Structure 1
Amino acid sequence: MRESAPTFEELRGLIGQELGVSDWVTVSQERINQFAQCTGDHQWIHVDAEQARRKSPLRTTIAHGYLSLSLIGFFIQDMRILPDNTQGAFNYGINHVRFLAPVKAGARVRLRTTLLAMEDKGPGQYLMTATNTMEIEGEENSALVAETMVMLYERRRKREA
C-alpha cells in the first residue's frame, strides 16, 4: 500500500505503472451471506455449506462473482490510489471483466491495480481507467481481471479575495 496518495498531476505520470497492491481481505461466509441478502441471490452454491459439500465439485461455498467485483472500490480506497483532494469518484463503467477462478468461502483476496489512462474531461474532471487483478492467496489463478473506469472530480481551492 502507498504511504501517501498521489496528486492528480502525479497520476498522469503513472500511466502504465502499477499503482498498488492491497492488503489481504478474508471473504467470509458471513460476508457472502450478507451479499446474498442484499441482492436476493441465495443460490445454494453461495449460501448452503452442507449442500455445497455434497454437490459442488469445489466441496465448499463460493463468493458471488459480483461480490468479488464489488470489492474493487473498497480496495482502491484502502490502497490510497486516489488523490487526497478528490471531491468525488463515480463508477463510469467496466470495459472488460473476466471471472477466472471461484473465491471459496474463507479465502483471502487482494487487489493489484495498474493505471491504463487518465483522460482530462474538463476543468477538474478526469476519467481514470485501470486494470484490476484480484488475487486469491495460495491459488495459481486470479479470481478476476477487470478494466474499470472511474470519473474523478478534483476539489479546487477557493480563490482568495
Structure 2
Amino acid sequence: MGQTIINSYDEFAAFLGKEIGTSEYVQITQEQIDKFADATLDYQWIHTDPERAANESPFKSTIAHGYLTLSMLTYLWYSIVDVRNVKMIVNYGIENLRFQQPVLVNDKIRAVVSLEDIRNLRGIAKIQVKIVVEIEGQKKPAYDALVTFLYHFEN
C-alpha cells in the first residue's frame, strides 16, 4: 500500500480528520506468542499451550497476548507513515484502549490510522491518531485506541 511521507507539521496537519493510511496485514505466529511470553513472563496456557487451548479454550486455539498485539503498534504505524525531518519522536500516551476481540494464532492483523488532533507545542508537533487494529476476515477489530506521539521537527 506504500508509506505516506510527511515532511513537516503542515503536511501532518493536512490529514486532520482524515485517514492517513492502512498497513499491510501481518500474521501473528505461535513463535511470536511464545517469545512474547518469555519476554514478559506471562505464560498463561491460553497463549502458550496449543494442545490445552484446542481442548479447553472457547477459541479452540491459542490467542496472542493483548499486549503483544498492542506492541505491534510501532511496526504497524511506521509501515504506514514515514515522517522525515525529525530530530526525535516520543511515544507520549495511549487513551481509550479497548480490546474487542482476541487475535488467534496465525490470524493476520493490520492498522487503519486517522489523524484526530494535532497541536504545535512550542515547535513540537503533538499528534493524536486513532488506530484501529483489524483482524483479517473479522467484523470486530482486535482493538482501537487514541495514540499520541510528539514529533520534534528539525525546522
Same fold by TM-score, threshold 0.5 exceeded? Answer: yes
Please give the alpha-carbon distance, in whole angstroms, between the structure 1 residues aligned to 2:102 and 2:147.
20
- How much has 1:97 moved relative to structure 2? 0.4
Partner of 2:118: 118
- How much has 1:95 moved relative to structure 2? 1.5
Runs of 4+ in 1 over 2 A off after TM superposition: 1-4
How many residues align? The count is 154
TM-score, with structure 1 as normaliser: 0.91
- Indicate conservation of the 8 Å contact 2:4/2:21, yes or no: no
TM-score, with structure 2 as normaliser: 0.95
User: Cα deviations across residues 17-68 of structure 1 (Å, max 9, x unaligned)?
Assistant: 0000000100011111111111111100001001101110000000011111
Please give the alpha-carbon distance, in whole angstroms, between the structure 1 residues aligned to 2:85 and 2:71.
24
- Indicate conservation of the 8 Å contact 2:3/2:79, yes or no: no
Higher radius of gyration, 1 or 2: 1
Q: Which moved more, 1:88-97 or 1:125-134?
A: 88-97
Please give the alpha-carbon distance, in whole angstroms, between the structure 1 residues aligned to 2:68 and 2:75.
11
SS in 2 for 1:63: coil
Partner of 2:71: 70
Aligned-pair Cα RMSD in Å: 1.2
**Structure 2 residue identity aligned to 1:136:** I
How is 1:134-145 mapped onto 2 (pairs within 5 angstroms)?
Answer: 134-145=133-144
Partner of 2:99: 99
- Indicate conservation of the 8 Å contact 2:4/2:20, yes or no: no
Partner of 1:159: none
